Amino acid sequence: MLGACAPAMQGDAISPGPVAMDPSGPDPRVGLSAGWMDAGEAARHMRLVSNTPRPTGFFNPQNPGDFPFANSDLAFQGDRVFIGSFNGFQIYDVSNPASPSLVTTVQCPGGQGDLSVHGNLLFMSVEELSGRVDCGGQGVLLPVSPERFRGVRIFDISNIVQPRQVAAVQTCRGSHTHTLVPDANDPSHVYIYVSGAALPRPADELPGCLRSGGETGVESPFFRIEVIQVPIANPQQARVVNAPRLFADPQTGDIAGLWQGGRHGPGTQQTAATDHCHDITVYPAIGLGAGACSGNGILIDISNPASPVRIDEVVDPNFAYWHSATFNNAGTSVIYTDEWGGGTAARCRASDPPTWGANAIFTLSERRLQHAGYYKLSAPQTATENCVAHNGSLVPVPGRDIKVQAWYQGGVSVFDFTDPANPREIAFFDRGPLSATNLMLGGFWSAYWHNGYIYGSEIARGLDVLQLLPSEHLSQAEIDAAKLVRFQDYNPQTQQRFAWPAHPVVAHAYLDQLQRNGGLTAARLSAVRSELDRVERMTDANQRRSGLTQLATRLDADASGARDADRVRALASVVRELAGAAR
């Protein structure tokens, strides 16, 4: 969570630039009534399909924002949604998104409970000193204890109604978040990148850990991540196999080689020192990861999953704390988020700078990052609403870069960043504050697209299911094309490449985009639509194949004089795929 400039390397200053806002009419998010389950709601171009409150044992009825019961991040497996929590996790069946059903809950406190799934295994981050090896809720009172657990738990979920902990890998600083990394050359193993943000435990509790002194020494638990190797068939043998120094200075070897902490000059942010990553998103299809690492954004080569290597870094004088990252589908841009205020503060007020607590969008070319633009929620929030950029994912609309994102009590925002320098909001959903008088923790921790719907982990209000609606910004064909992309196991920090099957709706999505941006003349668009519809109605496969091939050839010719030649070529490619699929 600026105009064009040279690549923003360590120490470079970035000048503030435009932040895209949607100016269309009064914003209904302003002035919503407060409440827990009865707060006012506002939506534009999306609708709330269902809300499922947190189950018993996962909320404090006296304090809906009680941190030990907060919902956290999400993972997905087919029609199942896994919701992490500071008190354990919940599993829902969402085969009917209008009425999700609770499959089971596991009470296993330890914070913050981020989850990933892989086949029959579920991974869970544990960071707090109260975490116990046995998942007990009584905490750990002694400063050094064999009962304490901080690291990554592994559950067997082959019996989905009775998850069973089968392994627990201890780490020095615990696991604030983690990232599941597959190995294309060895499908019998997966790797877990552990991002630990807390103070390290003493060596008396876990050998090799240093709790005080020597923070920058070669044995320091700071300035690194930990890599866990997990044999899928024998998860009990999971172990830490590497602790790469991703922040080291390549010239001197100093492990504290990136941002040292502090301000960048007058009027800039107080940026955290880079001694850990908050979150890492990997994109195995392109062999890269993007680390949001407290004081820097970094680019990582993950071609060898066991030994990630930093290959680029950027700094932003408007960022307080680099929080998370998202690649676009083509791997040509990266969004980093700034969690200014730590997620518990009101940072979307009208008086807050529009480039603080925002997204910074970078282009990515030849494995180098260059700043392009910012995006921040456009609707001002109240002083009783914690709000800042948080977790989100891509929406798989062909030909466009669209992201859905959580902003805590700022709600859910959907924005287009196809032009990284000019991102624009196209849909939103929001509720009023939990309290009109007091700042309370709440709102959306995460909002992700999965198999046709948007799922939101609402800290205080449970599981939300949302649906995009057609508008002048997004057509029904584009939404239907997005629904064609389906994943079984889906962990948002492990990005998978979108691929669309040969289907007429994909062609119509491109046609709608060309109409919206004037990329092809109105007369030619009308002719292409008519010809596509005519050919698709043909019952003879050979005639349909021939007609589609001829249409693709004519579109190739159209591209040379089109205002949006790349999109016309993409349309021609889709039509050619339809011809190849004609039976």
321-374 pLDDT, tens digit each: 999 999 999 999 999 999 999 999 999 999 999 999 999 999 999 999 999 999
262-292 pLDDT, tens digit each: 999 999 999 999 999 999 999 999 999 999 9
pLDDT band at 18 (very low <50, low <70, confident <90, very high): very low
128-167 pLDDT, tens digit each: 999 999 999 999 999 999 999 999 999 999 999 999 999 9
Token pair 């005519």 in the structure block, residue: 534
The encoded tokens of residue 120 equal 């029959």
Report the C-alpha gap between 80 and 489 in whole angstroms.
9
Report the C-alpha gap between 577 and 571 in whole angstroms.
10
Burial of 122 (0-12, 13-18, 19+ CB in 10 A): buried
* Residue 138: Cβ within 10 Å count: 10
513-536 pLDDT, tens digit each: 999 999 999 999 999 999 999 999
> Which of 192, 167, 227, 224 lies closest to 116, judged by CA?
192
Assess if CATH 1.10.3720.10 describes domain 41-48+55-490: no
Per-residue b/e over 287-300, b at no fewer than 16 CB within 10 Å?
Answer: bbbbbbbbbbbbbb
Return the DSSP state at 509: H
| pLDDT at 465 > cutoff 90 | yes
Would you give the distance in Å from CA 435 to the centre of its chain? 28
| pLDDT at 302 > cutoff 60 | yes
pLDDT band at 219 (very low <50, low <70, confident <90, very high): confident
The DSSP H or E segment spanning 392 is strand 392-395
412-450 pLDDT, tens digit each: 999 999 999 999 999 999 999 999 999 999 999 999 999
Residues of the chain above pLDDT 70, percent: 94
The encoded tokens of residue 554 equal 């004519």
376-392 pLDDT, tens digit each: 999 999 999 999 999 99
Query: How does the average pLDDT of the chain come out, rounded?
Result: 94
Q: What is the pTM of this model?
A: 0.94
Report the C-alpha gap between 562 and 574 in whole angstroms.
17
| pLDDT at 200 > cutoff 50 | yes
The pLDDT, as a whole number, for residue 5 is 32
| pLDDT at 170 > cutoff 80 | yes
pLDDT band at 213 (very low <50, low <70, confident <90, very high): very low
Per-residue b/e over 12-27, b at no fewer than 16 CB within 10 Å?
Answer: eebebeebbbbeeeeb
| pLDDT at 19 > cutoff 80 | no
The pLDDT, as a whole number, for residue 82 is 98
Return the DSSP state at 68: G
| pLDDT at 248 > cutoff 60 | yes
Q: Which long-range contacts (CB under 8 A, 24 or more apart) does 535-542 make?
A: 536/504, 536/578, 541/582, 541/583, 542/582
> Which of 13, 19, 18 lies closest to 317, judged by CA?
13
